[in-house]
Amino acid sequence: MCGIIGILAKNKIGESSFDQLDIALDALKHRGPDSQDCKIHSNVAFGHVRLSIIDADDRSNQPFCDASGRYTLIFNGEIYNFKELRNDLEIKGVEFVTNSDTEVLLHLLIKEREKALPKLNGFFAFAFYDNQRDEILFARDRMGIKPLIIYEDGDKFILCSELNSLFHFDIDKTIDADALNHYLGLTYIPASHTIIEKAYKIKPGEYGIIREKSVVINTYTEVRRNPYAKLNYEDSVTELQKLMNSAVERRLISDVPLGCFLSGGVDSSVVATIAAKQKEKLDTFSIGFDHKYFDESGYARQVADKIGSNHHEFILTKKNFEDEFENFLEAIDEPFADSSAFATFLLAKETRKEVTVALSGDGADELFGGYNKHKALLKSEDYTPRDKILVKGASSVLGSFSNNRTSKWGQINRKVQKMNSGLKLDIEARYWHWCHFVSIEDVVNILKPEHYRTINWEGYMIQDVSDSLIADQHFVLANDMLKKVDLMSMANSLEVRTPFLDPNVVDFANSLPLAFKLGKNATKRILKDAYREELPEDVIDRPKKGFEIPLQEWLGDQISEILNSDKFSQEFIEEQGIFNYDGVRTLLKKVSNKSFGDRIYLVWSLLIFQHWWKKYMT
């Protein structure tokens, strides 16, 4: 696991960027504390920081070159099937000098270029340079587990793992207004946008070639609905178990200590249960809260006891939030406001004290229909006019009561309000409406008119619930969930692996009928049935709860302090020229009066944005 930077200079001015390469690499040191190096050709410079996982010997450090010196690779990730690929290459006469997957990837790219990409089972972002052709090939894994960002202006191309390294170069910092509007509504910025206009994210499953001072980007694979597998339900359960066993087994290969996240939910419990059968003395890690409504650590302990793992539990308090908040903010490379990122940051920090690699349950919700919105979409398809009237009436009656995420009844009211507003829309608009954390009206009220944009969702056709699962895999999973885990784990030099996102598991899940996954009163049906006998009943059958923090309580008490901070002063906001000062003050006052609902998430987004702006833009 690593951080990468590549520069292709178009002219002498571009070559001057090479002078900043070392300091830009320093900004990625958290991603790779074990080694840092760079290699400069005439007009290309590659830099790399390494977290040693496979073949920790210095011989596998990067940038990695072939014996002739013609080819150079910088690579972030793991290739789980590298031993099979290596055997094939050895049959063809390739000789290896390391035991690393890096060297296997290098020689595979030398022989097959972009045609090699569909053969890779793993997660990765890399850049491969052929100095004879003066050509860079770069790519990102099919699910978007590892990030890859490109910046381009008239003098240079820069490839990098995190946006923060870009700010050490001479770049145009103009804000992307579309990205800003995405961020305020969703709490994250989807690919291909970044917050900077001239920088863009490579999408999952894309590759590109830079030659003759221009770049061409193509797709080598993408997740999609596959033809239905010709298996009945019972045989499908057996096949899923087989594929998950193999996926976990591949991800247990490591030359450094390895464990599992264990939240107490079904997904991480499945992964930990499988791993405990394949690895002796498995370490598991969970984070709980000193807040009854949010704490799920008891479920994690039940699973740990059942599988016999060496369990580590960390209880997160408001004091932890206050003590670690600034460190958390420093880990954010571009505005990113999924509030569960803070808990992920602390979980990664505690886990890294014991292991260097952790397996997680990410991806199962998007594959098997685990979110409340999936169940709501399915129900809403069959709603009669009478049902809609009843929901509207409930919304009206509950409208004056608490609407938040900090209590059972607050959640019920919030869901009723969401359902009522969604029923007024067609299924595609309903899906995007339910993806948003805050209302467009609230976003409009805090932005200056010239910075507001109407979001265009072209490229995502959602005609039924199965389409919404595919959209989640493209959109929510890659841009929110996986971004969060990569950013927060790598901030603590921890590698996280995701067995549910093994290509074979993904393709199989996307070939299953919706009825195998989702019912009106059941989510992730096939996954739960596959492991029902191995997990505690309480874990299998309990309602879905998101991995959230008690943001309303922890942040709500600090609103007056936020109101008086320099980042929300009239002078600061007017100098920015982005936000409407009166609108921001009105929002903060509503929240300080406890009239917040989901507006607290907009305040959280603003708080993170203002910190990011002050750090990078002033």
Angle, in degrees to the nearest 10, between helices 408-422 and 385-398 = 130
Task: Kindly report the average pLDDT of the chain as a whole number.
Answer: 91
Cβ neighbour number for residue 151 with a 10 Å cutoff: 21
Please report the pLDDT score of residue 380 as a whole number.
86
Please report the pLDDT score of residue 406 as a whole number.
59
Segment 372-381 shows an average pLDDT of 88
Cβ neighbour number for residue 533 with a 10 Å cutoff: 7
Is pLDDT of 294 > 80? no
Please report the pLDDT score of residue 604 as a whole number.
92
Look up residue 519 and give its DSSP letter.
B
Q: pTM of the prediction?
A: 0.93
Please report the pLDDT score of residue 151 as a whole number.
98
Please report the pLDDT score of residue 108 as a whole number.
98
- Which sequence positions are flagged as catalytic? 2
**Structure-model confidence comparison of residues 575 and 544, the more confident one:** 575
For residue 476, give the nearest of 380, 405, 546, 426 by alpha carbon.
546
Spatial separation of the C-alpha atoms in residues 275 and 67, rounded to whole Å = 38
Q: Sorting pLDDT into bands at 50, 70 and 90, what band is 485?
A: very high
Range of weakest confidence among 86-100, 227-241, 376-390: 376-390
Spatial separation of the C-alpha atoms in residues 511 and 567, rounded to whole Å = 49
Q: What are phi and psi of 106, to 5 degrees?
A: -55, -50
Is pLDDT of 254 > 90? no
* CB neighbour class for 303 (10 Å; exposed up to 12, middle 13-18, buried from 19): buried
Q: Sorting pLDDT into bands at 50, 70 and 90, what band is 557?
A: low
Spatial separation of the C-alpha atoms in residues 618 and 616, rounded to whole Å = 6
Question: pLDDT for 13-31, tens place per residue?
Answer: 999 999 999 999 999 999 9
Is pLDDT of 334 > 60? yes
Is pLDDT of 146 > 80? yes
Q: Is 358 helix (H, G, I), strand (E, B) or coil?
A: strand
Task: Tokens for 95, please give them.
Answer: 């000789």
Tell me whether the omega of the peptide bond preceding residue 192 falls within 30 degrees of 0, making it cis. Answer: yes
Please report the pLDDT score of residue 422 as a whole number.
75
Please report the pLDDT score of residue 467 as a whole number.
94
Question: pLDDT for 563-584, tens place per residue?
Answer: 778 999 999 999 999 999 999 9
Is pLDDT of 220 > 90? yes
Q: Which of 133-142, 427-436, 438-447 has the highest mean pLDDT?
A: 133-142
Q: Sorting pLDDT into bands at 50, 70 and 90, what band is 327?
A: very high
Spatial separation of the C-alpha atoms in residues 247 and 502, rounded to whole Å = 6
Q: Sorting pLDDT into bands at 50, 70 and 90, what band is 190?
A: very high
Please report the pLDDT score of residue 437 as a whole number.
83
Spatial strand order of the sheet with 283-289 comes to: 310-316, 283-289, 258-261, 357-359, 495-497
Is pLDDT of 545 > 70? no
Question: pLDDT for 394-432, tens place per residue?
Answer: 776 666 566 666 566 666 777 777 777 777 888 888 898
8 A C-beta contact, residue 183 and residue 337: yes
Please report the pLDDT score of residue 213 as a whole number.
86
Is pLDDT of 511 > 60? yes
Is the Cα torsion angle 535, 539, 541, 547 positive or negative in sign?
Answer: negative
**Structure-model confidence comparison of residues 509 and 390, the more confident one:** 509
Q: How far apart are the first and last CA of the chain?
A: 31
Question: pLDDT for 36-68, tens place per residue?
Answer: 999 999 899 999 999 988 877 888 899 999 999
Spatial separation of the C-alpha atoms in residues 182 and 579, rounded to whole Å = 15
Q: Sorting pLDDT into bands at 50, 70 and 90, what band is 233?
A: very high
Please report the pLDDT score of residue 592 as a whole number.
67
Look up residue 225 and give its DSSP letter.
P
Is the Cα torsion angle 204, 472, 506, 80 positive or negative in sign?
Answer: positive
Domains for the chain: give ranges and CATH numbers: 2-219 (3.60.20.10), 233-369+463-541 (3.40.50.620), 550-618 (no CATH)
Spatial separation of the C-alpha atoms in residues 528 and 534, rounded to whole Å = 10
Please report the pLDDT score of residue 482 as a whole number.
98
The separation between CA 347 and the C-alpha centre of its own chain, rounded to angstroms, equals 15
Please report the pLDDT score of residue 597 as a whole number.
65
Q: Identify any residues that bridge with 45 across adjacent strands, giving them in sequence order.
A: 7, 40
Range of weakest confidence among 222-231, 282-291, 418-427: 418-427
Segment 249-267 shows an average pLDDT of 93
8 A C-beta contact, residue 368 and residue 491: no
Q: What are phi and psi of 232, to 5 degrees?
A: -75, 180
